[in-house]
Structure 1
């Protein structure tokens, strides 16, 4: 059931499911908490799973001004406190992994264990690390006409054949709005801090077939975060929470309960 809570100047929309230690799920750039719909039931027997919408996403309401990555980390920190928790486990996917990194770096006392999926390290930019960033940007600007091709970046072809409706998942993206432009600027922001300063026990997960953030980019983070574990998910693309929720949950539960 959807809930809302005031966290600073942001009215955060979220869903809370299950029992056990709190686990915060942080969604990607163009997504909302709905991207975790198939993952939450896999995690709820083990954790109090909290999936929320970031500012300028989903049902969350906030100031109509550009936000930085640091602002999103502060939002998450305030949100955790508003729910009455001192600290939570955190899973961040794609750009949500950047928010999770920022939260772990700026508010380390808020993060118990950290899971980073299909993401790239602060402070470096997406364009710097991912050689196909230019083509991906062209496809995003070409929506909705490019929806089919863009889906092929986020999901492997074999999976799209099983779930053909996902070929049109990007077709409903709204034309440019003030909200979407603020979000795009937020996604471009970074921190001065680097991942080597993360102190939370960390697991890094990457999809073998990820075209959006190559697995090598994500897995390289494990060498820079002290004591981090790394897992490559065979035959999985970028959106692990939708393509392989059972497998993803197994790795998250194993690591968080270790």
Structure 2
């Protein structure tokens, strides 16, 4: 297991910006290579605080609130992952970015995959962390989690998100990243997640891709990572032995190092 070292948070600015039809909450920190951080299904733009603290100089890290998340304002209408991918492209427009690297975790990794399919010219590279190419590959465990109340979901962090070795340090922190949503917001996001299926389109994702996955992830089984590596033409896989679902937090230091290497940023 990697050692865990606390680092001072980088300077960040929190704001909102008009992107397409949405008012999007985002955090824009650092300068250099633009890296958009795409949060998981039950989190928001604040999910990446631990990872940000390890990214170091030379990276402009931008995290944002998807629909029904954080401070983003959107209409109470159903949407798909394709819509969320288009939202991401609209955010790039609003920020004046022609292209960016995308790092998505869990549900956010699905959003990033759809963005690479729908807007390949906007995606410089992909970093897919603890995610899946298909909801069907993780339906049982994810459905169990989604059916829980917010409080029960927080209590389940120990089983689903962090390793036994990391629970003392990361269990509370991981639980705090689980956002509170009203029933309508949750239902719309859960329905979007259930529609995720791109196994037959993985070969069309040509962007350079780094896949990072824990071998003991119950919510996004490791088999999905192996399939993505096999079918995506420019993908490489880094495994975290025994890692569970919250690896961007528990293993932030090695993942940040791999990100810097992948983006060819000078070592911190």
Give me the whole-angstrom Cα distance separating, in 2, the residues matched to 1:94 and 1:3: 24
Shift of 1:65: 0.5
The within-5 A match list for 1:138-177 is 138-143=144-149, 144-145=151-152, 147-166=154-173, 169=176, 173=180, 176-177=182-183
- Under a length normalisation based on structure 1, what TM-score does the superposition of the two structures give? 0.89
Alignment of 1:65-214 (within 5 A): 65-121=77-133, 124=134, 126=135, 128-130=136-138, 133-143=139-149, 144-145=151-152, 147-166=154-173, 169=176, 173=180, 176-190=182-196, 194-214=201-221
> What is the SS of the residue equivalent to 2:156?
helix
State the Cα distance separating 1:138 from its structure 2 match: 3.1
Residue of structure 2 aligned with 1:233, choices 240, 244, 247: 240
Unaligned segments of structure 1, at least 5 residues: none
- 1:245: which partner in 2? 252
Query: In the alignment, is the contact (CA less than 8 A) between 2:26 and 2:65 conserved in 1?
Result: yes
Report SS of the residue matched to 1:223. helix
Question: Are 1:15 and 2:27 an aligned pair?
Answer: yes
Q: Gaps (5+ residues) in structure 2?
A: 1-12
| Alignment length (residue pairs) | 251
Q: Please state whether the residue corresponding to 1:115 is helix, strand or coil.
A: strand
Counterpart contact for 1:148–1:168, Cα < 8 Å = yes
How much has 1:195 moved relative to structure 2? 1.4
Calculate the aligned-residue CA RMSD, in Å.
Answer: 2.1
Q: Would the aligned equivalents of 2:128 and 2:210 in 1 still touch at CA under 8 Å?
A: yes
Distance (Å, rounded) in 2 between the aligned partners of 1:196 and 1:214:
20
Counterpart position of 1:257: 264
- Poorly superposed stretches of 4+, deviation over 4 Å: 166-174
CA distance in 1, matches of 2:60, 2:229: 26
Change in CA separation of 1:45 and 1:180 when aligned onto 2, cut-off 3 Å: same
C-alpha separation between the residues in 2 aligned to 1:79 and 1:167? 27
Contact 1:25–1:49 under 8 Å retained in 2: yes
